Amino acid sequence: MRKLPDAHSPLRELLSLALPMVVSQGSFAAMIFADRLFMSFISPSHMAAALGGGIASFLSLSLFLGVMSYANALVAQYYGAGDLHKCPRVVTTGLVMAVMFLPLIAIVAYFVYQLFAAMGHESELVALEQTYYKILLYGCLFNLSKACIASYFAGIGRTRVIMIADLFGMLINIPLSYALIFGSLGLPALGIAGAAWGTVISTLCALGVFVAFYLSRDHRLQFRVKESLRIDWGIMRRYARLGFPSGIEMFMNIATFNLFILMFQAYGVAAGAAAAIVFNWDMVSFVPMIGLNIAVISLIGRYVGARDMSRANAVIAAGFKLALTYAACLGLLFIVLRQPLIGIFAGSGADFSEIRRLGGFMMVGLACYVLADATLLIAGGVLRGAGDTRWLMITSISLHWIMVVIQYYVILVLQLSAETSWRIFVASILILSLVYLWRLLGGVWRQPERLDRVMQE
């Protein structure tokens, strides 16, 4: 077992690991934000389609992305235990699994493609959603490979590599998407298809940066990368045992969220556009905090591997301090400036009054649940890093599906108002955060015999 060096305070240690990840995730949020903003210059239907099609593409990949992303915890545990030679084997195994997932993704995509029309969307919106969705899925292997290798670098604590790669992808994506959407720099005006192609191309560029770092001479020698170019069946079993619960959880949760968005858009284009605007601002709080979540997973996995639970406790406290402070500041901002924040998207010249009214109401709900999001991401990161993925899967899936069943009756059966549906959505996030906090404080996840089982091959 590897003895980790005494380092800085837990807060400083977490910050040094998390800040590059926050920048990285922030660049991802900026790309999505820019795409939807560009779509708002065309029409509210284009903006709503970018939300629906984008979430549907993430839904189609979410199971497999969840499995790939568990490389973070696996690598961190090996790194903490001093088994450096096993770390790159996780990448080799993950990339092989990514290729094996492609036929399954094609099957999932076939059924998801039909959902847009099945939810009763207007024909113009369906065509836009399907175009955006289909093109995004062309880059699925790039996304899976990028998630695997990025999680590897998070696991060994080299988050600056992730920041550099994702920033490079953003710098490619935003101008390229603009050029492909509106037709400039000699490129054709492709509309929403241009936004999707810009995302696919920039993802490939970011993946290229990751590969360059991974194959650099110093890294190859330190981690014996050449020796890792084979499937390690022990790691494959750990990937399946711990990664698939994480992936299933992500898939089912994104599925419920996607179904909620598709049902919510049945209220009309104005409701769909309002949801797109509010979730755009939601990304400003949620997506950067995913960077903090990834850092927590990495550090907790490292200290679980080293059996240093006192350092793990300090990381938990530091994580909550950072996340809750950030979320509280943004929650206040969302309430005070909700109308100006919505007005940024009033660029197409269409009637914006109903979008502004409903969006303002929804922004208040967003301000209410950002602290719950912070709690979910820190508590979930701790539990995931410690290998408590089965409990997370069962609990999260159960509560999310209860929410979507309630929303089905509220929206499609009882046909209650969009405001009622939104209140229920906010309440479900608050309840989920309390359940995660209860599990974290209960301490079952930290029992020595359970941690020993997690680390077994």
pLDDT category, 436, cuts 50, 70, 90?
very high
Give percent of the chain with pLDDT exceeding 90. Answer: 22
Task: List own/partner pairs for 111-116 with CB under 8 A and 24 or more apart.
Answer: 112/56, 112/59, 112/60, 115/56, 115/258, 115/262, 116/52, 116/53, 116/56, 116/262
Q: Measure the CA–CA gap between 184 and 176, rounded to whole angstroms.
A: 9
Contact 440, 313 (CB under 8 A): no
Mean residue pLDDT of the chain comes to: 83
What is residue 2's predicted lDDT score, i.e. its pLDDT? 47
Nearest to 37 by CA among 280, 278, 315: 280
Q: Hey, is 157 helix, strand or coil? A: coil
Cα–Cα dist 41/189, whole Å: 14
**Mean per-residue pLDDT, 341-348:** 75
Q: pTM value? A: 0.71
Give the residue, 279 or 447, on which the prediction is more confident: 279
Determine the pLDDT at residue 22: 77
Mean per-residue pLDDT, 333-357: 80
| 81-107 b/e (C-beta count within 10 Å ≥ 16 → b) | beeeebbbbbbbbbbebbeebeeebee
Q: Residue 254: how many CB atoms within 10 A of its CB?
A: 21
Residue 132: other Cβ atoms inside 10 A: 27
Backbone angles phi, psi at 4, to 5 degrees: -80, 145
Distance CA 73, CA 68 (A): 11
Using the predicted structure, report yes or no on whether residue 5 has a pLDDT greater than 50: no
Question: Kind and range of the H or E element at 76?
Answer: helix 71-81
109-118, 399-408, 412-421: lowest mean pLDDT where? 109-118
Q: What gap in Å lies between CA 451 and CA 457, rounded to an integer?
A: 12
Q: What is the mean pLDDT of residues 333-344?
A: 87
Within 10 Å of residue 221's Cβ, how many Cβ atoms?
A: 10
Distances (CA, A) of 41 to 53, 152, 344, 347, 348: 18, 38, 10, 5, 4
Q: How many CB atoms lie within 10 A of CB 429?
A: 21
Cα–Cα distance measured from residue 175 to residue 170, given in angstroms and rounded to the nearest whole number: 9
Say if residues 326 and 373 touch (Cβ distance below 8 Å). Answer: no
Residue 8's pLDDT is 58
- pLDDT interval class at 456 (50, 70, 90): low
Q: In the predicted model, is pLDDT for residue 351 greater than 70?
A: no
Tokens of 249: 């959880």
pLDDT at 457 over 80: no
Region 121-142 average pLDDT = 86
Q: What is the pLDDT of residue 145?
A: 93
Cβ-contact 263, 408 below 8 angstroms: yes
On the question of pLDDT at 6 being above 80, the answer is no
Instruction: Please check the confidence at residue 41 and state whether its pLDDT lies above 80.
Output: yes
Cα angle, residue 301 at apex, residues 297 and 236 outer, rounded to 5°: 100
CA quadruple 448, 452, 453, 456: dihedral, nearest 10: 170
In the prediction, which pLDDT does 434 show?
A: 93
Contact of 188 with 127, CB cutoff 8 Å? no
Question: Please, which pLDDT band fits residue 348 given cuts at 50, 70 and 90?
Answer: low
**What is the pLDDT, as a whole number, of residue 171?**
92
Measured CA to CA, the distance from residue 88 to residue 101 in angstroms comes to: 20
d(CA 378, CA 295): 10
pLDDT at 132 over 70: yes
**Sign of the CA dihedral 209, 185, 34, 407?**
negative
146 pLDDT above the threshold of 90: yes
Question: Would you tell me how many other CB atoms lie within 10 Å of the CB of residue 376?
Answer: 24
Q: In percent, how much of the chain has pLDDT > 70?
A: 94
Structure tokens at 100: 């094996």
**Residue 350's pLDDT band (cuts 50, 70, 90):** low
Position 165 scores a pLDDT of: 93
Query: Would you say 166 and 108 are in contact if contact means Cβ atoms under 8 Å apart?
Result: no
* Amino acid 242: pLDDT: 75
Can you tell me the distance from the alpha carbon of 312 to that of 329, in angstroms, rounded to the nearest whole number?
26
Mean pLDDT, range 233-262, rounded to an integer: 80
Look at residue 282 in the predicted model and tell me its pLDDT. 85
pLDDT digits (tens, 9 = 90+) for 150-199: 989 988 888 889 889 989 999 999 999 999 999 888 888 888 899 999 99
Digit-coded pLDDT (tens) for 8-40:
577 777 877 778 877 887 787 788 778 878 887
Give mean pLDDT, residues 328-346.
87
